[in-house]
Amino acid sequence: MAEIEREAMEYDVVIVGAGPAGLSAAIRLKQLDADINVVVLEKGSEVGAHILSGAVLDPCGLDALIPDWKDKGAPLNVPVREDNFYMLGEAGKLRVPNFPMPPLMNNHGNYIVSMGNVCRWMAEQAEALGVEIFPGMACSELVYDDKGGVKGVVAGEFGKEADGSHGANYEPGMELHGKYVFLSEGVRGSLSKQVIAKYDLSQGHEPQKFGIGMKEIWEIDPAKHKEGTVTHTMGWPLGGNAGGGSFIYHLENNQVYVGFVVHLNYKNPHLFPYMEFQRFKHHPMVAELLEGGKRVAYGARAISEGGYQSMPKMVAPGVALLGCSVGMVNVPRIKGNHNAMLSGKAAAEAAHAAIAAGRAGDELSDYETEVRGGAIGKDLKKVRNVKPFWSKWGLVPSLVLGGFDMWTNTLGFSLFGTQKHGKTDADSTEEASKHKPIDYPKPDGTLSFDRLTNVAFSFTNHEESQPAHLQLKDADVPVKVNLPKYAGPAARYCPAGVYEFVSEEGKETRFVINFQNCVHCKTCDIKDPSQNINWATPQGGDGPNYPNM
Ligand SMILES: Cc1cc2nc3c(=O)[nH]c(=O)nc-3n(C[C@H](O)[C@H](O)[C@H](O)COP(=O)(O)OP(=O)(O)OC[C@H]3O[C@@H](n4cnc5c(N)ncnc54)[C@H](O)[C@@H]3O)c2cc1C
């Protein structure tokens, strides 16, 4: 095929992704210099459409970026008033008192927010400062300069047919060039993955670790709603099968965020994270809260869990990786938005200084120094052993050891050094023959729902006449390797029912990819045991359309 010709636009800084990291970077650049040219490209149909967090927001990132955010009407309306932590058994619960928890676990001063709405508000602040924001623009390729540095991205390619050919309405998109390109794509970014591989940025760091987080918004009986209440649980239904737990946050308007995270290093390929979530809602404590209410939205997204020791090098010539593109979640706090914001601010300050000094296209090493040595590094370092302890020893020992280590780290030391994660999540998957299938109850349609019904509540939409954005490196692997060896785990680890093994009498089993259902969580790219699935961007504007997630 002939090389595609594209128009190019020149900016000082090109930012991929309008999440908290990318928008913070854009805002900070304009605060520092009103004349700097900044563009933000977002694959969602609007800013916030693809944002999914819990979310309890630690406002320290926003305080540093926009100290007068209250006066400017930031949608942080619900301060946390009550913090509960329970260990669940199948029918019972045990309240873990707050006093033995290290102070960093306290949610006092934090807010229950819709991060989608926070990002929408941040986008308004950025635009008021003169940032150009283009939603519906998926960045599908990196553009390199003659020396192999990143000089831009391709965005806005539309109108490819399913076989990859150019349809009647084909638009080649544009090249957007910058003195610096910021990749703030969030967890498992598709361009970030390429940059990490090309420049070998993970060299000398632990593998990144992940969880899959699923979340529903419920409108509940006002009599049961307690605005500002935060509840976390561990234990049932996962038990010893996988790490993870739940969150229940009471926000405004009688709404509750009900979410469940399953660590993706589980060994048993029969495990079905989505069904664990559905089963969780039948626990008496949760069922009693939700009964009489209705689920109004559903979504899912991977969450980075590797923390301090897994952050790869975050700069290469012309490019910097921000926020969860390198994984900045504080795992025991289940919080990464504050660090995403702080990283955006730090990257902006480094780029501004470099541009002011006449530099372009080099490594913004000051950014990395600030992340590792500043507030983000300090936040993540204190909790760095919690996840490895959990992976190695299971829930209860890790609570004791991890809690002890967080306390000593708060006092400035650790007896355990820095623990390793070891394997990737894909490599953690063991052969199906070593494990028993798990019997999941059928969803009842009131408290629990089948996947496809729930996916309708993510309001996801993909133009069908385009190439599947879920690409198999080898089309034979799912049926010839993953099915016999791992019982076809793609049929279960995907929280949107994208993957199916279809068996018809007299025909060979087929692996079907219903890419239209994809909610952009990226779990398949992470957990496929053969690492055979590549998540690439579909055309811009496609994907979920989350309301106030
Ligand atoms: C279930 C769950 C619960 C969580 N709970 C909390 C919580 O309570 N508190 C908290 O602080 N954190 C929480 N987190 C973590 C938090 O969501 C992340 O730390 C945070 O989203 C990271 O911000 P980011 O800007 O790096 O990425 P994101 O928020 O993921 O934003 C990335 C943006 O880039 C866009 N994008 C990606 N690739 C491209 C591309 N190629 N082209 C164009 N656009 C692109 C995406 O559409 C998205 O809008 C939770 C995460 C999950 C999954």
pLDDT (tens digit, 9 = 90+) per residue, 53-71?
889 999 999 999 999 999 9
Buried b (16+ CB within 10 A) or exposed e, 124-143: ebbbebebbbbbbbbbbbbb
88: left (phi over 0), alpha (psi -120 to 50) or beta: beta
Under 8 Å CB-to-CB from 366, ≥6 apart: which residues? Answer: 349, 350, 353, 354
Contact 47, 18 (CB under 8 A): yes
What is the CA(123)–ligand 1 centre distance, in A? 15
With H, G, I as helix, E, B as strand and everything else as coil, classify residue 452: helix
Averaged over 12-41, what is the pLDDT? 98
pLDDT, position 1: 52
CA dist., res. 210 & res. 419, Å (int): 16
Report whether residue 160 contacts ligand 1, using a CB cutoff of 6 Å: no
Q: Which of 334, 339, 342, 535 to mutate to test the pocket of ligand 1 (most atoms within 8 A of CB)?
A: 334
What is the CA(433)–ligand 1 centre distance, in A? 36
What is the CA(284)–ligand 1 centre distance, in A? 31
CA 110, 113, 118, 119: dihedral to nearest 10 degrees? 110
The number of angstroms, rounded, from the C-alpha of 381 to the middle of its chain's C-alpha atoms is 20
Report whether residue 53 contacts ligand 1, using a CB cutoff of 6 Å: yes
Q: Which of 324, 462, 520 to mutate to test the pocket of ligand 1 (most atoms within 8 A of CB)?
A: 324
Residue with tokens 């989505």: 274
What is the CA(408)–ligand 1 centre distance, in A? 30
pLDDT score of 103 more than 90? no
Contact 194, 209 (CB under 8 A): no
CA 23, 24, 25, 28: dihedral to nearest 10 degrees? 120
pLDDT, position 2: 63
The residues pairing with 56 across neighbouring beta strands, listed in sequence order, are 112
pLDDT in tens, 344-378: 999 999 999 999 999 999 999 999 999 999 999 99
What is the CA(477)–ligand 1 centre distance, in A? 30
Report whether residue 543 contacts ligand 1, using a CB cutoff of 6 Å: no
What is the CA(5)–ligand 1 centre distance, in A? 32
pLDDT score of 548 more than 60? yes
Residue with tokens 């805002």: 27
Buried b (16+ CB within 10 A) or exposed e, 519-548: bbbbbbbbbbbbebbebbbbbbbbbbbbbb
Report whether residue 195 contacts ligand 1, using a CB cutoff of 6 Å: no
pLDDT in tens, 306-337: 999 999 999 999 999 999 999 999 999 999 99
CA dist., res. 402 & res. 396, Å (int): 10
Averaged over 410-416, what is the pLDDT? 89
